[in-house]
């Protein structure tokens, strides 16, 4: 009884540990090597979405030296320039000033 128990227990322990370890690592590396950038950003923005950007933000004194205000260059609620006003895209982008807040949807 003792030898059969040890044999069966060790066999199933060995089988399940290596089986699940192999498949976990296999699908993990498959996921990150074949779907790396697209799925990574998809999950990133799915679980950590960007905070909503309001239509009125503080002037970007760092970018334009304080020469512009929101009244001169109004932005739409989505953070994009209104069609009637010519605005540099940087002034109506996200808080980093590099891109509009909806840029990550292009990855989808």
**Each residue of 30-69: pLDDT tens digit?**
766 666 666 667 766 777 666 655 555 554 544 544 444 4
pLDDT for 25: 77
Helix (H) or strand (E) holding 44: helix 36-47
What is the separation of C-alpha 89 from the centre of its chain, rounded to a whole number of angstroms? Answer: 21
Is it the case that residue 101 has pLDDT exceeding 60?
Answer: no
Q: What is the pLDDT of residue 5?
A: 80
| Confidence band, pLDDT 50/70/90 cuts, at residue 85 | very low
What is residue 40's predicted lDDT score, i.e. its pLDDT? 67
In angstroms, the CA 72 to CA 58 distance is 13
d(CA 73, CA 82): 9
For the entire predicted model, the pTM comes to 0.23
Specify whether the CB–CB gap between 53 and 101 falls below 8 A.
yes
pLDDT at residue 96 tops 50:
no
Chain centre distance of CA 82: 27
Residue 21 CA to residue 12 CA, distance in Å, equals: 14
């Amino acid at each position: 009884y003792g030898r059969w128990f040890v044999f069966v227990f060790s066999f199933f322990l060995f089988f399940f540990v290596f089986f699940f370890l192999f498949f976990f690592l296999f699908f993990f590396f498959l996921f990150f090597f074949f779907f790396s950038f697209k799925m990574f950003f998809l999950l990133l923005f799915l679980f950590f979405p960007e905070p909503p950007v309001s239509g009125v933000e503080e002037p970007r004194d760092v970018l334009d030296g304080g020469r512009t205000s929101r009244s001169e260059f109004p932005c739409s609620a989505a953070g994009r320039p209104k069609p009637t006003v010519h605005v540099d895209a940087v002034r109506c982008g996200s808080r980093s000033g590099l891109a509009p807040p909806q840029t990550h949807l292009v990855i989808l």
